[in-house]
Structure 1
C-alpha cells in the first residue's frame, strides 16, 4: 500500500509540474484564437516530453547521473557552458512568469494588483525552498494542483458542440482571420510549453536527490508514461473551454482571469475558486522547480555540491545560486513587464533551446558504460530521434516566427 501511495503521489506531481503558467496561457490563447486546431501541438509536445523524461529518469535511477552532469560530460566544457547560460536565462524568464502568474491568481481573489503581491510571493517561495523538504514541495503542491481538473468538469458542463470541437481537433486549419505564420508561432509556443528543459533538469536531479535506484524504475516510468499525458489532457481541456466560451465572443487572453472565465460561467464561484487554487498551486510549484533547476544546473556544471537536502554550509554555492535566481526573477517582474508577454517569450525561447538539453540525454541513454542492460531499446531510440528532429526544426523556426509575427500579435 505504501508503494502504491508513493506512485500515486508521483503521478500527481507529474500532473502539477507539467501544467505551469506556460501551458495555462498558451492553451487559453490558442483555444480562444484557433479553437482546437492546435491540439496536435499539445499531443506532439506531451509525447516528446514523456519520451525524454523517461530517458532522463532512467539515467538518474541506473547511473545516478543528473542531466547537466551529462551535458558537460558529453558536449564538452565550452559547449556545455553555452547550454548552461541558455538554461539559466530560460529559467529566469520562467521564474518571472511563474511569479507573475501567482500574483495574477492572488489578484483574482483580492482585487489587489499582482505587482503588490510580488515581494510576498518571492518570500513565500524562498521560505518554501528553505524550510520544506523536497518531498513535501512535490506532493503538497501536486495534490493541490489537482484542482485544475475543474476544467474537465466545466467542459462537460458547458453547452458544447462536440462534433464541431472534434472536427476542429482532427482536421486542423488556419482560421480566415489568422495568418499562417501566426498559427505556426503558436504551434511552436505550445510545443515549447510542453517540452520545457527545466522540467527535465528538475526531474532527473530530483530523482538523484531522492535516491532512485533500479528498484525505483517502475515508479519512475509510471510517473512519466501516465503522469505527463494526464497533464497534456488537462492542457487540452483548458484549450477546449476557451474555444467553447472565448472564441465565439472574440475574446483574446491577456490575463489568467480570462483563462478561468469558462469555468466561472459553467460552475459559478465554486468552480472559479477551484480554478484559482489550481492556478496558484501549479505556478508556485513551477516557480520552485525553475529556481531549483538553476541551482542544479550551475552546481552540476562546475562540480559543486548540490541538493536541497544539503545544508547551506555543505552546499553554499547551490543555495546562493538559488537565492540569486529568486532575486533576479522578482526584479524582472517588478519592471512591470506584462507576465503574459514574459510567458510567451519564455516558452518560445525555450523551444529554441530544447535540442541542447535533449541531445545529451539521448546519447547517454544509449551508453552501456552508464546504463548496462537499461540502454534504449529500438522503440525508444526511434521515438527519441523523431522527437529530437522535431525539436531541431522547432528551434530553427522559432526566432524567425517570433520576430515575423511580433510575438503572435
Structure 2
C-alpha cells in the first residue's frame, strides 16, 4: 500500500510539472516578452484571467474523461453530429497544426542561439527529433522529462528580482493603455495573451492522456491537483517573463522581437548560468509543446474517425494515428522551410487559438452538465457560474480577434 501511494504521489507531482511546461510554450514566451516590452505590466491582468480559464476548461475536460471514459472529439462528434463536428475538427486541426509549426520553429531558434547555426538548418533536425521521440519514447517519460526541465524557466522569476525593478512598476498593474499605444492594439495583445494561455491543444492532450491512463472517479483528486497547482505556477512563469522585459526594455521603448533579445536581460542579471537555465527551459517547453501538439493532431482525427489511437500503442496497432502525426510534422517543417519567420507564426498561432476556442469549449461545457455522461459529477453552481462567464469571454475574444488583427496590422 505504501509503495502504491508513493507511485500516486510521484505521478501527481510529475503531472504538475507537465502542466507547467504545457502552459509556457513558445506562444506564451514570445507573447509575454513582446507585451512586457511594449505595455509594461498594464496587461498583466490577462494572465490570471487566462489561468482561471484554462483551469476551468481543463478541469471540466478531465472530469468528463474520468466519468465517461470518452475523449474530446468522440464526444464532439456525438453531440454535434458528423457535419458540424467535422467543421469543428478541421478548424481545430488547422489551429493545432499552426501551433505545431510555431513550436518546431521555436526549437530551431533555441538551437540557433546555442550553436550559432541558422535556424533554417535546424528545422529538419527539430522535426526528426520530435518524430523519433514520439516513435520510440514512453508516454510517461516524454511527459515527465520535458515538464521537469521546463521548470528551468522559473529562472526568469529570479532574474526579475535581480534586475531590481523600481517601485513605480507596481503602478503599471492598473489596466491602462500606454500613451504611445492605441486602444485597438492594447486589446489585440490582450486577446493574444488570452489565446496563448488557453490554446485548445492543451485540453486535447490533457483529456486524451486521461483516456490513455484510464482515469476513473478515483483519479479526480490527482487530476485536480495537477490542474489547480500546475497552471498557476505556469502563470507565475509567464508573469516573470513579462516582468523581465518590462523592466529591461519598456522604459527605453525597445520591443522584444526575438528570443536573442529576450536573453539580454537574463545575461545582464544572471550571467551565462542564468542564460543556460533559460535556454534549457525554453527548449524543454517548446519540445514538450511540439510533442503535445503533434499528438493532438493524431488524437483529434483518430477520435473523430473512430480509429485506434494512443501514444502508448505501437504503430502496427494504431497505424493511421501515427501516420497522421508524421504527416502534420512534415507539413509544419515544410511551412518553416519556405523561410517564414517562426516568431510571426507564433504570434498568429495564439490569435487563431482564441478564434477557434469556442469550438471545443462549448461542447465540453454542455457535456459537463449532462448526467448521462457525468452521473453525479455534473458541474455545480459555482462551476457553471464561472463557466458561463468564460463562455462569454471566449465568444467575445473569438469574434474580436480577426477584426483587431486586421485593424492593427497584427499589432504592428
Give the TM-score range, shorter chain.
over 0.9
Stretches of 4+ aligned residues off by more than 6 angstroms:
none
Q: Do structure 1's residue 93 and structure 2's residue 98 form an aligned pair?
A: yes
Give the deviation of 1:277 after TM superposition: 0.4
C-alpha separation in 2, matches of 1:259 and 1:38: 18
Give the deviation of 1:303 after TM superposition: 0.8
User: Could you report, residue by residue, the CA deviation over 1:278-298 in whole angstroms, capped at 9, with x for unpaired residues?
Assistant: 110000000010110000000
Correspondence for 1:274 among 255, 272, 277: 277
C-alpha separation in 2, matches of 1:48 and 1:117: 35
Q: How does 1:213-292 map to 2 (within 5 A)?
A: 213-292=216-295
1:95, 1:287 within 8 Å by CA — same for their partners in 2?
yes
Structure 2 residue aligned with 1:120: 125
SS of the residue corresponding to residue 39 of structure 1 reads: coil
C-alpha separation in 2, matches of 1:262 and 1:88: 37
SS of the residue corresponding to residue 310 of structure 1 reads: coil
Q: How does 1:84-233 map to 2 (within 5 A)?
A: 84-161=89-166, 163-169=167-173, 171-233=174-236
Aligned residues: 407
Correspondence for 1:296 among 290, 295, 299: 299
Pick which of 309-318 and 138-147 moved more.
Answer: 309-318
SS of the residue corresponding to residue 76 of structure 1 reads: helix
C-alpha separation in 2, matches of 1:3 and 1:155: 35
1:144, 1:278 within 8 Å by CA — same for their partners in 2?
yes
C-alpha separation in 1, matches of 2:55 and 2:207: 13
Give the deviation of 1:82 after TM superposition: 0.9
C-alpha separation in 2, matches of 1:68 and 1:151: 36
Correspondence for 2:84 among 70, 73, 79: 79
C-alpha separation in 1, matches of 2:255 and 2:84: 40
Give the deviation of 1:369 after TM superposition: 0.9
User: Could you report, residue by residue, the CA deviation over 1:342-397 in whole angstroms, capped at 9, with x for unpaired residues?
Assistant: 01111101101101010010011111111111111111111111111100000010
C-alpha separation in 2, matches of 1:101 and 1:246: 22
Task: List runs of 5+ in structure 2 lacking aligned partners.
Answer: 1-5
Give the deviation of 1:113 after TM superposition: 0.8
C-alpha separation in 1, matches of 2:191 and 2:262: 20
Give the deviation of 1:261 after TM superposition: 2.1
1:24, 1:259 within 8 Å by CA — same for their partners in 2?
no
Q: Do structure 1's residue 18 and structure 2's residue 17 form an aligned pair?
A: no
Task: List runs of 5+ in structure 1 lacking aligned partners.
Answer: none
User: Could you report, residue by residue, the CA deviation over 1:2-24 in whole angstroms, capped at 9, with x for unpaired residues?
Assistant: 32221111110000111000100
2:15, 2:226 within 8 Å by CA — same for their partners in 1?
yes
C-alpha separation in 2, matches of 1:302 and 1:388: 27
Structure 2 residue aligned with 1:47: 52
User: Could you report, residue by residue, the CA deviation over 1:17-42 in whole angstroms, capped at 9, with x for unpaired residues?
Assistant: 11000100000000000000001111
C-alpha separation in 2, matches of 1:164 and 1:375: 46
2:245, 2:256 within 8 Å by CA — same for their partners in 1?
no
Give the deviation of 1:301 after TM superposition: 0.6
1:12, 1:139 within 8 Å by CA — same for their partners in 2?
yes
Q: So what's the TM-score if we normalise by structure 1?
A: 0.98
C-alpha separation in 2, matches of 1:49 and 1:288: 19
C-alpha separation in 2, matches of 1:291 and 1:191: 22
Give the deviation of 1:334 after TM superposition: 0.8
C-alpha separation in 2, matches of 1:152 and 1:333: 31
Structure 1 residue aligned with 2:62: 57
C-alpha separation in 1, matches of 2:56 and 2:300: 21
Give the deviation of 1:247 after TM superposition: 1.1
User: Could you report, residue by residue, the CA deviation over 1:65-116 in whole angstroms, capped at 9, with x for unpaired residues?
Assistant: 1111111111111111111111111111111110111111111111111111
Structure 1 residue aligned with 2:3: none
User: Could you report, residue by residue, the CA deviation over 1:254-273 in whole angstroms, capped at 9, with x for unpaired residues?
Assistant: 21112222211110110001
C-alpha separation in 1, matches of 2:149 and 2:216: 28
1:142, 1:282 within 8 Å by CA — same for their partners in 2?
yes
C-alpha separation in 2, matches of 1:48 and 1:165: 26
